[in-house]
Amino acid sequence: MVDSPPSGTTPASLRITAGGRANAGPAARLATLPWSVPLEQWPESVLAALPRGISRHVVRFAHLGETVVAVKETTEQLALHEYRLLRRLEHKDVPSVEPIAVVSGRVDADGEPLPAVLVTRHLRFSLPYRAAFSRTLRRETLVRLTDAMALLLVQLHLEGFFWGDVSLSNVLFRRDAGAFAAHLVDAETGELRPRLSDGQREHDLELARTNVGGELLDLTAGGMLDPDVDPADTADMLVESYRGLWAELTADTEFAPEEQWRVEERIRRLNELGFDVEEYALHPTDDGSRLVLRPKVVDPGHHQRRLMSLTGLDVQENQARRLLQDIESNRQANNPHLSEGEAAHRWLVNVFEPVLASIPDELSLKLEPAEIMHQLLEHRWYLSEAQQREVPFDDAVASYISTVLAARRDEDAVALHPTTTMLRAVPAPSSPGAGTADGSAEQHEPGR
């Protein structure tokens, strides 16, 4: 980590604390931002129009060359604590925002001190919960969102992270092959420990139940939530999802000595959930009549790592699962004699890359490439079902681009009106697979 005063006309007291080769470029450009101006007064010329969640701090998105960053005013002590904690989570591959720097020693034009700031990289293609929870929300989507948040909390707890402020406001959601992936965006109250006690986990769960229920009640009061969605039931559903996943990942399995196949079955089930098993222990029960399997679950992202090793693509877990399925389907249909690595290379060159090349430039920011591929495969299936025939792949690509992708908003370049405080939903397109994961096409406007 390096503390360095930036060059130029910035005050001599200004200090930028940054580290990591990947952040060298953005951190070096930080001195160009108007640090002598309170964050809430920053000019529109440096701001990026993106939807913001609710925060106890002043938060703004700003352009930093080709990068968009989130800037949060806080105390220097809290900023440094969160920065270092986010870096540790990043090294553990926990889904969280990427820290870039802490800027302290700010003063205004009159020499009066201004708050320090934490700078993080904007998570592309992400949505705050108020953009995901809307009046068009269906229960199926609500289940996917709460499952994503439960999975994030499990991942954090497995790493020994005590959150201390579990809430929807501290999470961003990204689409993940029909599901959602949740990412931590606020670690200010968090702590990393070697291992969490059951009491610490239960404390986070009760916070989740209280905060999520309260946030959904706020949406209900503002007319922004489907009337059929019960805030208390939704908060309970989140806790139940966490408990079920935690038990699946950590509970012992008891079986008879002749049922050794139960070991492979349990490991396969954990892999299907996206987790790898580093090692496991087998020990007999007290009477010696049965065996107990205790897995040591480690890194989530089983399918992500497998796809990365085969193709070099870095995608979400469910997206990786879906693309691996398509690679195998292509291998079985066209070249069953090929190895998995050879089949993956041919799929990348002959399927994935041509699909991306066919997307017009003006539509390229609608969705992540892997999400486009997933939706295209779904769209082809819908077309084939409707026409009762196998629709040619090229025809499906053309149909998807014109009837689905073109109807979506740009999730990586959301155009926002700076004076409105509500999120507005617009009618959903009628074509298969169009709109959001819950079948709606959304347009977002930020709070100010």
Give CA–CA dist 206/212, Å, rounded.
10
Give CA–CA dist 131/422, Å, rounded.
10
Question: Tens digit of pLDDT for each residue in 95-154?
Answer: 899 999 999 999 998 899 999 999 999 888 888 877 766 556 667 777 888 888 998 999
Beta pairing, strands 441-443 & 424-426: antiparallel
Tokens of 441: 């096409």
CA dihedral 18, 22, 23, 24 (to 10 degrees): 80
Residues paired with 182 in a beta bridge: 173
What domains appear along the chain, each with residue ranges and CATH number?
2-122 (3.30.200.20), 127-250 (1.10.510.10), 253-300 (no CATH), 359-448 (no CATH)
391-397 mean pLDDT: 89
Give CA–CA dist 350/363, Å, rounded.
21
Give CA–CA dist 303/238, Å, rounded.
24
Give CA–CA dist 383/361, Å, rounded.
25
Residue 197 has pLDDT above 80, yes or no: yes
What is the torsional sign of CA 302, 305, 309, 312? positive
Residues 184 and 169 sit within 8 Å (Cβ to Cβ): no
Give CA–CA dist 94/190, Å, rounded.
14
What's the pLDDT at 409? 67
What's the pLDDT at 112? 92
Structure-model confidence comparison of residues 10 and 213, the more confident one:
213
Question: Tens digit of pLDDT for each residue in 301-360?
Answer: 777 778 877 888 878 777 888 888 889 888 888 888 888 888 888 898 889 889 989 998
CB neighbourhood size of 312 (10 A): 10
Give CA–CA dist 143/438, Å, rounded.
11
SS (H, E, C) the chain: CEEECCCCCCCCCCEEEECCHHHHHHHHHHHHCCCCCCHHHCCHHHECCCCCCCCCCCEEEEEECCEEEEEEEECHHHHHHHHHHHHHHHHCCCCECEEEEEEECCECCCCCECCEEEEEECCCCEEEHHHHCCCCCCHHHHHHHHHHHHHHHHHHHHCCEECCCCCHHHEEEEEECCEEEEEECCCCCCEECCCCCHHHHHHHHHHHHHHHHHHHHHHHHCCCCCCCCCHHHHHHHHHHHHHHHHHHHHCCEEECCCCCHHHHHHHHHHHHCCEEEEEEEEEECCCCCCEEEEEEEEEECHHHHHHHHHHCCCCCHHHHHHHHHHHHHHHHHHCCCCCHHHHHHHHHHHHHHHHHHHCCHHHCCCCCHHHHHHHHHHHHHHHHHHHCCCCCHHHHHHHHHHHCHHHCCCCCCCCCCCCCCCCEEECCCCCCCCCCCCCCEEECCCCC
What's the pLDDT at 435? 38
Residues paired with 433 in a beta bridge: none
Give CA–CA dist 132/143, Å, rounded.
12
Residue 10 has pLDDT above 50, yes or no: yes
Question: Tens digit of pLDDT for each residue in 67-76?
Answer: 889 999 999 9
- pTM assigned to the model: 0.67
